[in-house]
């Protein structure tokens, strides 16, 4: 039993490190400072002090993860924050005015049955504690960031009047870190310049695999048969003012046969290229456009001339629709048109596919 508990503790620690690394990457890409802020930023007036308190000492490994998530959300709302590791007593009776803050966000958390339970409370320096709290729970895996960020959104929506007032004061006192950090007077929560209502947190890594028939068109369709095209894609996404954009590596294997008047061939084509993908929005349904290009290796096993090889450019472009099923798993329907610049006749065709996707 001690060994089992030790193993479970190690797995929880690894999961916490992975989750914290994901949130840290999100903060860095968003241009936001981590909790270990510079002395210059600490000298600024604090709007909200964040008190993070674990129920048990063994749960301390999630402290940094929750602190970074809270700081990310608050700074995106244009509020200056200070992170404090609080004891149970400090969390029960927060005094934001002692830290020069107008309000305090209390985050209590603990592990129970493989899940992390989170309770959020809001305390105003003038009016006292808010009458509402937010509670959330989630498995300690890579989807835990979505649970915590959603709980923070719910809490800030309940105190949006106070947040708007503090955000306006912060804008008047000093320029915000970025133009996107200050919410407009009619905005409840601003997550990022490209985010929409109902948007999901951006997951930066995409792994996709699928299968498509290759339907030749043009002159090549007279002697090339229906092809079979399995493929894989690995992409890294960044959030931009116009929406998520991904840059990745595409690899495929296209197999078909060619029959001429005097010869026949079994043909394999191995395209390898860079893929650029633009997604329209970040909700559960995501239309997207992509283009891929690079070299393609042709290997033709003919009946009379043996095996012939050649290296030609290829271009692949299409539109698709992602459906996020649960967490980071989704399905994608994609309609592509492929062109292989094999001379004297271009090999072109449609490649409609269904793909399975994993986002981390």
Give the per-residue pLDDT at 249.
97
d(CA 139, CA 141): 6
d(CA 10, CA 58): 11
How many beta carbons lie within 10 A of that of residue 129, not counting itself?
A: 14
The encoded tokens of residue 22 equal 């994901």
Give the per-residue pLDDT at 106.
86
Contacts of 234 (CB under 8 A, 6+ apart): 205, 206, 207, 208, 248, 249
Angle, CA of 76, 82 and 86, to the nearest 5°: 125
Give the per-residue pLDDT at 232.
96
Strand partners, 309: 299
| Whole-number average pLDDT of the chain | 77
- CA 58 vs CA 21, 54, 74, 317, 329: distances in Å: 20, 8, 27, 51, 31
Q: What is the 3-state secondary structure (H, E, C) of 75-116?
A: HHCCCCEEEEECCHHHHHCCCHHHHCCCEEEEEEEEEECCEE
Give the per-residue pLDDT at 358.
93
How many beta carbons lie within 10 A of that of residue 24, not counting itself?
A: 16
d(CA 255, CA 113): 50
Give the per-residue pLDDT at 22.
52
- The answer to whether 58 and 111 have CB atoms below 8 angstroms apart is yes
Q: DSSP assignment of 333-356, as one string?
A: EEEEEEEE--SSS-EEEEEEEEEE
Write out residues in the chain with pLDDT < 70, as ranges: 1-45, 57-61, 88-91, 130-132, 141-143, 170-200, 260-263
Contacts of 54 (CB under 8 A, 6+ apart): 60, 62, 63, 108, 109, 110
Give the per-residue pLDDT at 92.
72
Q: Which domains does the chain have, with CATH numbers?
A: 2-181 (3.40.50), 205-359 (2.40.160.20)
């Amino acid at each position: 039993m001690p060994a089992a508990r030790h193993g479970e503790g190690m797995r929880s620690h690894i999961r916490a490190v992975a989750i914290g690394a994901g949130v840290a990457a999100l903060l860095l890409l968003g241009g936001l400072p981590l909790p270990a802020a510079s002395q210059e930023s600490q000298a600024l007036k604090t709007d909200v002090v964040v008190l993070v308190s674990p129920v048990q000492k063994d749960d301390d490994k999630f402290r940094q993860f929750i602190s970074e998530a809270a700081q990310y959300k608050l700074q995106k709302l244009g509020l200056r924050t200070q992170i404090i590791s609080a004891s149970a007593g400090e969390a029960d009776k927060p005094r934001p005015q002692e830290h020069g803050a107008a309000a305090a966000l209390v985050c209590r958390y603990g592990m129970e049955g493989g899940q992390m339970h989170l309770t959020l409370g809001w305390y105003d320096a003038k009016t006292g504690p808010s009458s509402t709290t937010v509670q959330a729970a989630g498995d300690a895996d890579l989807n835990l960031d979505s649970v915590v960020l959603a709980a923070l959104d719910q809490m800030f929506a309940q105190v949006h009047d106070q947040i708007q007032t503090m955000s306006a004061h912060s804008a008047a006192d000093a320029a915000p870190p970025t133009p996107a950090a200050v919410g407009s007077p009619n905005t409840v929560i601003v997550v990022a310049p490209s985010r929409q209502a109902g948007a999901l947190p951006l997951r930066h890594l995409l792994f996709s695999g699928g299968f498509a028939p290759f339907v030749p068109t043009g002159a090549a369709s007279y002697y090339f048969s229906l092809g079979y095209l399995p493929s894989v894609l690995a992409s890294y996404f960044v959030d931009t003012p116009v929406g998520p954009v991904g840059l990745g590596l595409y690899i495929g294997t296209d197999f078909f046969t060619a029959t001429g008047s005097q010869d026949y061939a079994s043909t394999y084509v191995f395209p390898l290229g860079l893929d650029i993908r633009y997604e329209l929005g970040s909700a559960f349904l995501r239309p997207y456009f992509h283009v891929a290009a690079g070299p393609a290796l042709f290997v033709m096993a003919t009946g009379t001339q043996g095996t012939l090889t050649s290296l030609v450019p290829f271009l692949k472009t299409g539109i698709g629709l992602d459906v996020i099923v649960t967490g980071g798993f989704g399905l994608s329907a994609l309609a592509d048109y492929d062109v292989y610049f094999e001379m004297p006749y271009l090999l072109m065709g449609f490649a409609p596919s269904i793909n399975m996707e994993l986002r981390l």
